[in-house]
Amino acid sequence: MTELYLETFDKIAVVTLDAPPVNALTLARYAAIGHMFDSINDMKDINVVIFTAKGSKAFCAGLELREFLAATPEEDPERAEVVRATFKSIRHCKVPVIAAVNGPALGAGSVLASTSDIRIASEKATFSMPEINVGRCGGGAHTGRLVSQGMLRLMAFTGEQMSAWEAHRVGFVERVVPPRLLMPTAMDLAQVIAAKSRIGLVTMKEALNRIEDVPVDEGYEVEQYYSTKLMLTEDAREATRAVVEKRAPVFKGR
């Protein structure tokens, strides 16, 4: 079983990992997550995704170590390809992804959060890169997009957990809330995003992904290119008219 569920609520998709006791990732679960996010790209009535997990022990404890021990070095490149595809599917999901992190996020679990667009953490959440403790290497490319090189190396060389509040301090997490407010906070934010034009959200996310690693002047030129593309859509014109006319926009998806 993949233990992965999808629910939809008025332009919001909620993807939930439910693999007791600690939501560890087998290769099948990696693949299921990737396939689910790929399928969301085709859902024209979805504007935003919340990615969360069930249980009180962990958001995701990372790689399922018993399965890893049974794998051979010869199998590792093929397994790694599945893992890369999963993280790519989340990061390049057409619409914004909010990670609602309910507990410890270890290794690949922390990367699931880092490949999302926005991270909201329960006060019980922690983040770590324990690969050094299990003879692995990974997670730095995605985590390093969000924290300083010093913090990245501190996490990678020690494998120690970072609290939700420390993660907020160093810029890895956008909001920290009491456990009971995690999903309500994520849903409130999702509703704000869901009310926007899907065309605008898709275009904005693609632009932001493209400019992340380019010089400022080149990045702004790319943004202007996407802005011009938006001008050709009815939704963009409707957004401007709605602001001028002081009313809520009515988007048509074109």
CATH of the domain at 83: 3.90.226.10
Q: What is the pLDDT of residue 239?
A: 87
Would you say residue 253 lies in a domain?
A: no
CB atoms within 10 A of CB 167: 26
The pairing of strands 97-101 and 126-128 is unpaired
- What's the start-to-end Cα distance of the chain, in Å? 39
One domain for residues 16 and 53: yes
Low pLDDT (below 50) residues in the chain: none
What does 33-66 look like in DSSP terms, one character per residue?
Answer: HHHHHHHHTT-TT--EEEEEE-SSS-SB--B-HH
Would you say residue 112 lies in a domain?
A: yes
Would you say residue 55 lies in a domain?
A: yes
Residue 85 CA, chain-centre distance (Å), reads 14
pTM listed for this prediction? 0.93
One domain for residues 160 and 215: no
Residue 110 CA, chain-centre distance (Å), reads 10
Q: Token match 């810029």: residue? A: 171
One domain for residues 239 and 132: no
One domain for residues 46 and 103: yes
Q: What is the pLDDT of residue 51?
A: 98
Q: What is the pLDDT of residue 42?
A: 93
Distances in Å between the alpha carbon of 94 and those of 101, 163, 192, 205? 21, 30, 17, 7
One domain for residues 20 and 130: yes
Look at the chain and report how many structural domains it folds into. 2
Owning domain of residue 43: 4-194
Q: What is the pLDDT of residue 131?
A: 87
Would you say residue 208 lies in a domain?
A: yes
One domain for residues 154 and 99: yes
Q: Token match 């992804």: residue? A: 97
Distance separating alpha carbons of residues 188 and 191, to the nearest angstrom: 5
One domain for residues 164 and 213: no
One domain for residues 109 and 207: no
Would you say residue 66 lies in a domain?
A: yes
One domain for residues 101 and 165: yes
Would you say residue 108 lies in a domain?
A: yes
Residue 44 CA, chain-centre distance (Å), reads 19
Would you say residue 215 lies in a domain?
A: yes
